[in-house]
């Protein structure tokens, strides 16, 4: 009796093993399975928009921060001086602009004076013409009167030209190009000063923090990472034979290495519609690789999967196994048994 029990047990184990083996061999065509799946989370690369020496680091590694919280500050003395300099240049431009209005008023008064002088010179010329006609003055006296009238006329024209120039410079009203340039410079200086105070742009957890006070950081250099814990997805690489089953909306089962014994539900969101071809990089000649193997390695398809009720303890980079549901009750039953077995196997491996 005992031998029969051992015999039936052996047959059952062999049958289950052969059944799972046959299932896995045909899985790509029925219910694609992969162990090459990785958890991803949106990571914000924090880089200062200005250069400087780090004055304070206001967060610690693993700390959860909200949008608007201070991450670190840079020594802002030179940026504060730049603001003061820009303010002085703006004040100078405004004073220069105000002086232009005063010059315009003075030029208008000068024009009125020149017009009176020109009118008087022309009247004097008319009198000199009358006296010359009677022979009562010399030719030299008449020429002097004519010259004085011409000079007075030229002075009027020059005064009008000066007024026209000032009106052109003041044509923009209360501002001119110099003021607008100074205002723009001041705004830029204030922006740089504000940027020396680096804040979080999104909620998340500070990760891989190595920054410390006294470090000089360059503009645009990444010095900190903030991980968005709410935006997560799973990227899974399946053999291309199963592409017919890797359509958006298809449900999947997921087993995470970090959480053995549990099977999660998920849904295929989309596929990456292109992969890098190492043999034909952009703008380069193709490199032909010869493969001596009879059966070559299959191409992989990167698939993005959303996980239902993902455990918040999972980190970006957590590894997982994924089984795609077929829709057939028998195949799905075998598939669920397999992914469950894999999840329990993670207790020992």
Per residue in 110-122, pLDDT tens?
A: 777 778 777 887 8
Average per-residue pLDDT in the chain?
82
Q: Quick: pLDDT tens for 94-104.
A: 777 666 666 66
For range 5-20, the mean pLDDT: 70
Among the listed ranges 74-78, 136-140, 333-337, which one has the minimum average pLDDT value? Answer: 136-140
Least confidently predicted of 76-85, 139-148, 170-179, 206-215: 170-179
Compute the average pLDDT of residues 209-223: 92
In the structure, what pLDDT confidence band is assigned to residue 89 with cuts at 50, 70 and 90?
confident
Query: Span 195-217, mean pLDDT?
Result: 92
**The pLDDT of residue 153:** 79
More confident residue, 173 or 109: 109
pLDDT over threshold 70, residue 30: yes
> Pick the residue with more confidence: 165 or 245?
245
If pLDDT is split at 50, 70 and 90, which confidence band does 282 have?
A: low
Domain 28-42+229-277+298-345 grouped into CATH 3.40.640.10: no
Domain boundaries, the chain: 28-42+229-277+298-345, 52-74+197-217, 78-191
pLDDT 10s digits, 258-280: 999 899 999 999 988 877 776 66
Residue 23 pLDDT: 62
pLDDT band at 311 (very low <50, low <70, confident <90, very high): confident
Higher pLDDT, 49 or 349: 49
pLDDT category of residue 293 using cuts at 50, 70 and 90: low
| pLDDT for 22 | 65
Range picked from 162-176, 198-212, 285-299 for highest mean pLDDT: 198-212
Determine the pLDDT at residue 71.
Answer: 94
Mean pLDDT of 322-339: 87
Assessment of whether the complete model's pTM goes beyond 0.85: no
Instruction: With a cut of 80, say whether residue 218 has pLDDT above it.
Output: yes
Q: Give the side-chain half-sphere CA count within 13 A for 243.
A: 10
Comparing CA positions, the residue from 168, 178, 241, 217 lying closest to residue 51 is 217
Task: Please tell me if the domain spanning 28-42+229-277+298-345 has the same topology as the one spanning 52-74+197-217.
Answer: no
User: What confidence score (pLDDT) does residue 312 get?
Assistant: 83
Whether CATH 3.10.20.310 fits 52-74+197-217? no
Tell me the CB-side half-sphere exposure of residue 253, using CA atoms within 13 A.
Answer: 23
Res 97: pLDDT: 67
Radius of gyration of the chain (CA): 43
> pLDDT for 136-187, tens place per residue?
677 677 667 778 777 777 877 877 777 777 676 666 555 677 778 888 999 9
């Amino acid at each position: 009796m005992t031998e029969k029990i051992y015999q039936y047990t052996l047959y059952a184990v062999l049958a289950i093993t052969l059944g799972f083996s046959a299932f896995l061999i045909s899985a790509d065509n029925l219910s694609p399975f992969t162990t090459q799946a990785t958890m991803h989370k949106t990571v914000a690369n924090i880089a200062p928009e200005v250069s400087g020496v780090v004055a304070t680091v206001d967060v610690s590694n693993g700390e959860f921060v909200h949008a608007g919280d201070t991450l670190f500050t840079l020594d802002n003395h030179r940026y504060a001086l730049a603001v003061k300099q820009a303010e002085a240049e703006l004040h100078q431009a405004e004073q220069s602009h105000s002086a232009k209005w005063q010059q315009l008023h003075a030029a208008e008064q000068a024009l009125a004076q020149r017009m009176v002088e020109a009118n008087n010179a022309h009247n004097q010329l008319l009198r000199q013409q009358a006296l010359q006609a009677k022979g009562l003055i010399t030719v030299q006296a008449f020429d002097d009167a004519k010259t004085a009238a011409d000079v007075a006329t030229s002075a009027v024209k020059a005064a009008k030209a000066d007024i026209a120039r000032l009106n052109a410079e003041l044509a923009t009203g209360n501002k001119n190009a110099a003021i607008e340039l100074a205002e723009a410079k001041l705004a830029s200086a204030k922006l740089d000063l504000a940027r020396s105070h680096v804040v979080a742009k999104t909620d998340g957890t500070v990760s891989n923090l190595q920054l410390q006070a006294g470090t000089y950081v360059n503009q645009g250099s990444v010095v900190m990472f903030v991980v968005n814990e709410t935006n997560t997805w799973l990227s899974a690489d399946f053999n291309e034979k199963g592409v017919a089953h890797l359509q958006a909306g298809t449900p999947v089962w997921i087993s995470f290495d970090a959480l053995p014994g549990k099977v999660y539900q998920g849904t295929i969101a989309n596929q990456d519609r292109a992969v890098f071809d190492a043999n034909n990089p952009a703008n380069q000649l193709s490199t032909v690789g010869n493969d001596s193997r009879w059966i070559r390695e299959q191409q992989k398809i990167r698939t993005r999967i959303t996980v239902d009720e993902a455990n918040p303890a999972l980190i970006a980079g957590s590894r997982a196994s994924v089984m795609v549901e077929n829709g057939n009750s028998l195949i799905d039953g075998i598939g669920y048994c397999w992914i469950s077995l894999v999840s329990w196997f993670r207790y020992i491996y």
